[in-house]
Structure 1
Amino acid sequence: MQSREESIERIKGLFNITITAFDQNGDVDFKALSENVERVIDLGYDGLLIGGTYGEFATMSADERANVFKAVMEQVGDRVPVLLCSAHSDSRVVFELTKLAGDLGGLPMVTAPYVSEVEDYHIHDFFTRVAPLSKTGIMIYNAPGIGITLSPKLICQLAEIDGMVALKQGDLNPTAVDILSGNLHGKIKMLAASDLALLGPLALGFDGVSSTNSCALPELIHAIFHAIRSGDAQEAGRLQRLWYPLRVLARKYGQPQTTKAIMNMRGFNGGSVRLPLLDLNETQKAELKETLEKVASDPDARITLA
């Protein structure tokens, strides 16, 4: 992407939140990253999200994140749109990574600064300052799990800032989704931030969804998304219910951990998580494997086990 206009045109559909595979030494496994990117592109995913919350950006240095940005953009080129998370507690790092993301042709995804006693006017000023740094525009990332939960009122105000082209909405409370859909539909692009609850936002007019579990269950998530997009809500709901037992464990043990564990069970290279997170222990993996096998026993789940 080379402009805000192109970002507005292309940010829609099903985005894979690509995990960052770490090897046994704790280093980024760029070979695994490349393989995981190609898998979802080959399956027809509409875009990628690199270095997000479940990409464990908070455990990585600014240089590591920049190198991941560069490697992915060199590999992907212009084949699919790429969201590049430039969030950080240090605004200087945000500014640096945001400019880099835009220069590389990605769309930088920016959270509110997560420091203490931040008021709405601080957040508005921050986004006003970061907006001009990216030639491709800015995606507002409302990420309750890593900091401040932006209210629908504030998000609507931020959307008026020149350069805001999209929103990734992590607060999927039905009331918040309803307000945002009613006020911002057609003004900026909106992605639901989680595949744990994707049907409601899409039915209300969100432009797409980002999915971490699509790293582990890419065929099933793809089928669910396209069922709802084709207007078959009943089929989408049926397919979504198929993997509910896995969602229970994802909420219980954490998505980076369970996602990577399932990937490894399927013969994909999920690698390990970084501290302070911990890989699943043997008891947890046994529970996850048993649940995965039960879900995979239904052919409609489209899950093949290694």
Structure 2
Amino acid sequence: MTTTRLPAPPFGRALCAMVTPFTAEGALDLDGAQRLAERLVEHGCDGLVLSGTTGESPTTSDSEKAALVRAVREAVGGRAAIVAGVGTSDTRHTVELALEAEKAGADGLLVVTPYYSRPPQDAVEAHFKEIADASGLPLMLYDIPGRTGTRIEPGTMIRLAGHPGIVAVKDCAYDLLGTQKVLAHTGLAYYTGCDEQVLAWYAIGGTGYVSTVANVAPRQIRAILDAFDAGATAEAARLQQGAIALIESVMAAGLPGTVTVKGLLNALGMPAGPVRPPLRSADRGTVDALRATYERLVAA
């Protein structure tokens, strides 16, 4: 049976895929994380996703992930939802991380499709259900086949929507038809993880976004949703188009978004620090070009 109701926003609408700040020596910078989280919430983010792709989760330890949740929770209190990235290629390890995130004060869990082993769809479904059964926190499924090698197929997503602990999706599948099919048949809250799709996904019934670019331009990305909600659809389109140059520079410049957004944050004097290997920091020319594009956006 289909449904026409719009899903409630379980974690807010405007979520930032927050970077994980490190010191110059590469250690976890909890003070910097708290300052960055404070700024993001003050500038319009009502949710923060920690230890995701942009948060360099493959290179942070289990204890660092839990410490990050605790520190950000202390900084933002109840002003923003905290969604903790716990996805790994190992179901048992993912369950362990989920339980630790729950203890640390997270409001929800971001769980990516198991990567590298490329499990079939029945195994993907069982993986997510086991994690949802193990934790008392609601799950946001992370569908990003370009990185994991495995899609959460629309049919699998529709079946998973029947689990009471699975409430949301971070959608990086680049499949407009598949997304609309799941929206039409479930009550899952859909968050685009692709900044260029913020307005398009919101207009077809999505809930909001999990944005990398929001690390540096939280007000500008949030304004797209606010304009649409106010009925100013032409203005929402203008704001989306106005942000495209920065979105392209951050997300489609041949470098991972973590590298470009950290380079820009550092240039703007905000907490970020270096990336951890195997990633390498952006060079000066790249950072200068990013800053020039950013300054044109904020001056518009």
Structure 2 length normalisation: TM-score?
Answer: 0.89
1:242 aligns with 2:251: no
* 1:272 partner amino acid: P
Letter in 2 for 1:134: S
Deviations 1:107-146 (A, max 9, x none): 0111222132411111111122111222122221112243
CA distance in 1, matches of 2:124, 2:80: 30
Question: Number of matched residues?
Answer: 290
Aligned to 1:106: 107
Unpaired runs of 5+ in structure 1?
Answer: 1-7, 299-306
Q: Provide closer, same or farther for how the CA distance between residues 108 and 177 of structure 1 changes in structure 2, counting only shifts above 3 A.
A: same
How far apart, CA to CA, are the structure 2 residues paired with 1:297 and 1:80? 27
Contact 1:101 1:134 survives alignment (8 Å): no
Assess, with a 3 A threshold, how the Cα gap between structure 1 residues 239 and 221 changes in structure 2: closer, same or farther: same
Q: Please list, as runs of the form range in 1=range in 2, the aligned pairs for 1:29-178 lying within 5 A after superposition.
A: 29-103=29-103, 104-147=105-148, 148-178=150-180
Q: Name the amino acid aligned to 1:41.
A: V
Residue 9 of structure 1: how far off its partner (Å) = 6.2
One-letter amino acid matched to 1:161: H
Tell whether the 8 Å contact from 2:17 to 2:54 is kept in structure 1 after alignment: yes
Question: CA offset at residue 213 of structure 1?
Answer: 0.8
In the aligned structure 1, how far is the partner of 2:209 from the partner of 2:174?
11
Separation in 1 of the partners of 2:18 and 2:171? 17
The 3-state SS of whatever aligns with 1:280 is coil
Partners of 1:66 and 1:23 lie apart in 2 by 18
User: 1:10 Cα shift?
Assistant: 3.5
In structure 2, what residue type is equivalent to 1:19?
V
- What is the distance in 2 between the residues matched to 1:275 and 1:9? 35
CA deviation string 1:23-67 (max 9, x = no partner): 211111111110110012122322111111111111112221122
Query: Residue 162 of structure 1: CA displacement?
Result: 3.7
Instruction: Give the direction of change, closer, same or farther, for the CA distance of 1:67–1:159 in structure 2 (3 Å limit).
Output: same
Cα RMSD (Å): 2.0
Secondary structure of the corresponding residue to residue 137 of structure 2: coil
Counterpart pick for 2:258 among 239, 256, 259: 256
Relative to 1, partners in 2 of residues 1:165 and 1:295: Cα closer, same or farther, differing over 3 Å?
A: closer
1:257 Cα offset (Å): 1.6
Match of 1:288 among 285, 290, 294: 290
What code does the residue aligned with 1:62 have? D
Q: Percent identity?
A: 27
Task: Tell me the secondary structure at the aligned position of residue 54 of structure 2.
Answer: helix
Q: Give the unaligned 5+ runs of structure 2.
A: 1-7
